[in-house]
């Protein structure tokens, strides 16, 4: 998986407070500065299968910087044997999540098959891959998160695009943004591979 290191954007206390109020009104879990509470809350919704809206950190990985490079290989196939998807409910885009390996056992931050809806990409996504390499991936950023928020890494494709174009696409979509866990059907969809369809982003990414 690709790991995109971006500078941390600092926000004033007033802006943070306003964001928290707006998030609560919109049904989004309020922003927190710690890792454990937000994840434990989301775990409950995963088990129940009920929908919840939260703020997460989204990055992208491409055909060119996948593991191994120049492939669409995935670690946890669910709907397909290789990364892909057009973003519809029935054909969600492959997404990678952080994971941990302890005593030889791998545990994903979100189980394979978990579905998300990425509002600013207008894409449904499904967990079919992991983000973070090595014997202790739990020490990497994908597992620890970004500023206390869950980190998701979405597959943008890019086999027919240049490496530079895919990098620009990944940079464009990277940031904190609203995400829905266990989304219902019927949300707006911009159908197609993310990279091939122009890397459309609807609304600002912070």
User: DSSP string spanning 106-158?
Assistant: EEESS-TT-EEEETTTTEEEEEEEE---SS-GGGSHHHH-BTTB-EEEEEEE-
Tokens describing residue 111: 């189980």
Compare 122 and 6 and report the one with higher pLDDT: 122
Asked if the structure places residue 195 within a domain, the reply is no
Asked if the structure places residue 132 within a domain, the reply is yes
Report how many domains make up the chain.
Answer: 1
pLDDT in tens, 56-100: 999 999 999 999 999 999 999 999 999 999 999 999 999 999 888
Q: How far apart are CA 126 and CA 152, in angstroms?
A: 11
Asked if the structure places residue 63 within a domain, the reply is yes
Q: How far apart are CA 59 and CA 162, in angstroms?
A: 18
Asked if the structure places residue 200 within a domain, the reply is no
**Cβ atoms of residues 189 and 125 within 8 Å:** no
Asked if the structure places residue 188 within a domain, the reply is no
Q: What domain range is 23 assigned to?
A: 13-181
Sequence-distant (≥ 6) Cβ neighbours of residue 169 within 8 angstroms: 60, 62, 156, 158, 161, 194, 195, 199
pLDDT in tens, 149-178: 899 999 999 999 999 999 999 999 999 999
Asked if the structure places residue 8 within a domain, the reply is no
pTM: 0.80
């Amino acid at each position: 998986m690709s790991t995109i290191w971006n500078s941390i954007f600092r926000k004033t206390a007033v802006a943070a407070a306003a964001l928290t109020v707006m998030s609560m009104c919109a049904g989004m879990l309020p922003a927190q500065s710690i890792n454990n509470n937000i994840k434990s809350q989301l775990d409950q919704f995963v088990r129940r299968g009920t929908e919840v809206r939260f703020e997460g950190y989204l990055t992208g990985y491409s055909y060119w910087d996948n593991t191994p490079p120049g492939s669409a290989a995935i670690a946890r196939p669910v709907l397909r044997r290789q990364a892909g998807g057009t973003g519809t409910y029935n054909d969600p885009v492959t997404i990678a999540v952080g994971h941990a390996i302890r005593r030889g056992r791998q545990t994903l931050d979100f189980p394979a098959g978990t579905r998300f809806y990425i509002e600013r990409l207008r894409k449904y996504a499904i967990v079919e891959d992991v983000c973070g390499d090595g014997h202790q991936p739990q020490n990497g950023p994908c597992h620890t998160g970004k500023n206390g928020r869950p980190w998701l890494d979405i597959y943008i494709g890019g086999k027919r695009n240049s490496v530079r174009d895919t990098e620009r696409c990944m940079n464009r979509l990277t940031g904190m943004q609203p995400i829905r866990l266990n989304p219902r059907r019927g949300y707006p969809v911009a159908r197609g591979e993310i990279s091939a369809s122009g890397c459309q982003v609807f609304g600002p990414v912070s």
